[in-house]
Amino acid sequence: MIVNFYKIKISMSKIALITGITGQDGSYLAELLIKKKYKVHGFVRTNQKIKKSDHYWRLKKIIKKIKLHLVDFNKDYDLKRLVKKIKPNEVYHLAAQAHDGHSFKNEFYTLNTNFNFTHKILSLSKEINPKTKFFFAGSSEMYSKNIKEKINEKTNFNPKSAYGIAKTASHYLVKNYRENYAFNSSTGILFNHESPRKGDEFVLKKIAKSVARIKFGLQKKITLGNIKSKRDWGHAKDYVYAMWLVNKQNKASDYIIGTGQLNSVEDFLKKAFKYVGLNYKKYLIIDKKLFRKKDSLARIANPNKIIRELKWKRKFNFDNLVKDMVDNELKKFKN
């Protein structure tokens, strides 16, 4: 019998569909899945022009290795046609209006994007192939802002924003699909994670950029709000690896994904400046206007379940995160 090994190899490679592929996590996840020999498809909203815009800067390295599809999540027919055509084995639903703060300003848009779209893509994935593995990106914003103990999978939800409400409702939907339809759907409840690919409006990215600019004499000072503010910050590369581990298993479940450690903005500031041989105190301006009216108590993750069950191990500690973000900014000027 003649066996066509080439064909066998092709048919065995998995097909992944990533929504939110242009974002920080989507781009790292696509890179990881390509390394793992997946065929990667990504949904891109219709108002963006594929390949022609700076909008795809995060996908530059892999743009030729992935297949992007323009899609309007409001058009059910298009969505169905595409999922049917792609036939994914694994879906990673990351697309979201991802700014918690903005969600107060536009509740209807946030709920539509973060809840209704989740419902559509979840339901379609099950309808088209009930064996699909489905990962949904939840958030620490699903919890109250006043929890002192570490948050685990049993902690009660108590969201305080349209963003948090949409994430919590979506999580319950994902759980119900798992329990009622035996669908392999999981939520990864993600705590804050950063990287060189984070949006410029976020504080750690702002610091990393400023450090490089100050080092090269292009900027004199950095203005920040409450530098005592703390978060459980990890590196996005570790978090997308966790997403893959979650979808790899045969028994779906929900997992807290965080570091279990708190650091302040000041910790990042101090380490970032020290990394380039400077003392942050000489360059810092504190502006009280930048303080949040209601800055939350720092929520802290207990990631023991994912460490124990899926053997998740982080490659980046806080020092490596600082180094990676600052190095990336320095590189831009050195080039």
**Residues interacting with ligand NDP, by CB under 6 A?**
20, 22-26, 45, 48, 73, 94-98, 113, 137, 139, 190, 192-193
Q: Which two tokens stand for residue 226?
A: 């409450």
The answer to whether the CB of 229 falls within 8 A of the CB of 295 is: yes
| Beta carbon of residue 279, minimum distance to ligand NDP (angstroms, whole number) | 29
Q: Indicate the residue among 27 and 273 with the shorter CB distance to ligand NDP.
A: 27
Closest CA to 219 of 200, 228, 203, 206: 206
| Beta carbon of residue 117, minimum distance to ligand NDP (angstroms, whole number) | 7
Q: Which residue is nearest to ligand NDP (CB)?
A: 23
- If phi over 0 gives left and psi between -120 and 50 gives alpha, with beta otherwise, what is residue 297? beta
DSSP string, 280-313: GGGTEEE-GGGS-TTPPPPP-B-THHHHHHH---
| Beta carbon of residue 165, minimum distance to ligand NDP (angstroms, whole number) | 13
Integer Cα distance of 114 and 100 in angstroms: 11
Question: How many helices and strands, by DSSP H and E, does the chain display?
Answer: 11, 13
Catalytic sites, residue numbers: 139, 141, 163
| Beta carbon of residue 62, minimum distance to ligand NDP (angstroms, whole number) | 14
Q: Indicate the residue among 42 and 215 with the shorter CB distance to ligand NDP.
A: 42
Name the amino acid, one letter, at 34: I
Q: Indicate the residue among 43 and 273 with the shorter CB distance to ligand NDP.
A: 43
Q: Indicate the residue among 96 and 252 with the shorter CB distance to ligand NDP.
A: 96
